[in-house]
Every structure is written in structure tokens, then in C-alpha cells.
Chain A
Amino acid sequence: DTEVTQTPKHLVMGMTNKKSLKCEQHMGHRAMYWYKQKAKKPPELMFVYSYEKLSINESVPSRFSPECPNSSLLNLHLHALQPEDSALYLCASSQVRDLGTDEQFFGPGTRLTVL
């Protein structure tokens, strides 16, 4: 199984809502990533988990809260978002290498719209 799954595919939420994005992989990867991608822009790294521990937080606002409950699952909890947070949220996973970042497998993404 070389697939990363993400749910939901689409999400519309108001600025006062609380919602969560989910990501799952069963490739035995121990590194998992959250990216944000705006239209016609590259994916922008938000968070990296390595062995279920948060290893990178790229100065992301606290209204985004990641969680890695086990080695196969990654969540992104959303609260009090702003309209400018509307974007495609991509999850990825990879092997953990001793040297640098390995090949990342991306999920199809969640298209988030904040009203």
C-alpha cells in the first residue's frame, strides 16, 4: 500500500468553527508532514513529525494545532481560522533517513475554505 489518504476532501468552515483534518498512511513511514498550498504557489511546509514527535514547526499560527496519535495517523486541528487560511492542505509521509529528507509521498489534499 503506497497511498496516503486524507479526509475530508473538501471543508467549508466559519471563522468560529473547530474542525480537524485527518491523514493516514500504512507504508511504515515514521516521518509525516503538513503543507499548505495556495493556488499557483508551491507547497509551504507547516509541521514535521518524526517518530510521532513534533520536530519542525515553521512558525505556524496557534490556530493550527497538529497531532500525531500514532505512527500511521496525523491530524491537523483548526480553530478560529481566517479567510486567508483558505488553501489546499497536503499531508505527506516518508522514511526517516539518517541523512536529510527522503522521498515524500503526498496525499490528495483537503481543500479548505474559510468563510
Chain B
Amino acid sequence: QQPVQSPQAVILREGEDAVINCSSSKALYSVHWYRQKHGEAPVFLMILLKGGEQKGHEKISASFNEKKQQSSLYLTASQLSYSGTYFCGTERDNYGQNFVFGPGTRLSVLP
């Protein structure tokens, strides 16, 4: 079952922060985050596992709330290079059999 992402699109000025949410009505085992720039392949950002901790780098991090079956991706002090479509991918168990991408959030960072 496909997860839900919000917002569908967001426009930022360089240096602003953004939060992208991914949620499911089913219990989740893992949440994956990818970014896809226009005309390019998706690029992996991070995986969050059930029972795991918040992950990320200095300016891009994510959390996973197991009780709410929701993950949030935090983009801090956005850069022009952050523009693209962000997809979360979810799994309901650890058998690797039901990975599915969400519909995506289109992020545009303007100078």
C-alpha cells in the first residue's frame, strides 16, 4: 500500500528550512528517502528502521515515529542543489517483499 506524502510541493528561498512528511495507515518496518532531480535517477538519502534512531547529516535529517507510522525529512538552510522530487519508500516488514514509493514531494529552492 502506497504511503502518503505531504506537502505535494513546496517552494523555498535559499537558506530556508523545510519538512516533508511520509505516513502510512499500516505498521511500518522501515522508511527510505530518495531525491530525484529532473531527468536524473533517484539518489538514496537515508533509511530509518523501526526501533532505530534519527539519522542524517548536518543539514538533511529524518525521524521515524513508529507509533504514528510517520517519517519526517528535515531540510535545514536549504541550498539550490536541494531542488528535486523527494520520495519516501516504505516496507511493512523485514522480508524485502513490499517496498513501495510514495507519490513524491516536489521541492524548489529559489535564489
Verify A101–B99 contact, CB threshold 8 A. Answer: yes
A84 within 8 A of B: no
Q: Looking at the complex, which one of B2, B32, B42 makes contact with A106 (CB distance below 8 Å)?
A: B42
Verify B101–A103 contact, CB threshold 8 A. Answer: no
B56 within 8 A of A: no
Q: Looking at the complex, which one of B43, B94, B99, B101 makes contact with A99 (CB distance below 8 Å)?
A: B94
From known contacts A105-B44, A108-B40, A108-B41, infer whether A43 and B95 are also in contact, taking CB-CB under 8 Å: no
From known contacts A104-B44, A106-B42, A106-B43, infer whether A45 and B99 are also in contact, taking CB-CB under 8 Å: yes
Closest to A50 in B: B96
Verify B96–A100 contact, CB threshold 8 A. Answer: yes
The CA-CA distance from A4 to B41 in the complex, in Å, is 10
Query: In the assembled complex, how far is the CB of residue B106 from the closest CB belonging to chain A, in whole angstroms?
Result: 8
Query: In the assembled complex, how far is the CB of residue B104 from the closest CB belonging to chain A, in whole angstroms?
Result: 5
Kindly name the residue among A42, A43, A48, A50 whose own CB sees the greatest number of chain B CB atoms within 10 A: A42
Verify B29–A100 contact, CB threshold 8 A. Answer: yes
The CA-CA distance from A48 to B97 in the complex, in Å, is 9
A90 within 8 A of B: yes
A83-106 CB mask vs B (1 if < 8 Å, else 0) is 000000010000011111111111
Verify A101–B32 contact, CB threshold 8 A. Answer: yes
Verify B101–A43 contact, CB threshold 8 A. Answer: yes
From known contacts A100-B91, A101-B32, infer whether A43 and B96 are also in contact, taking CB-CB under 8 Å: no
B47 within 8 A of A: yes
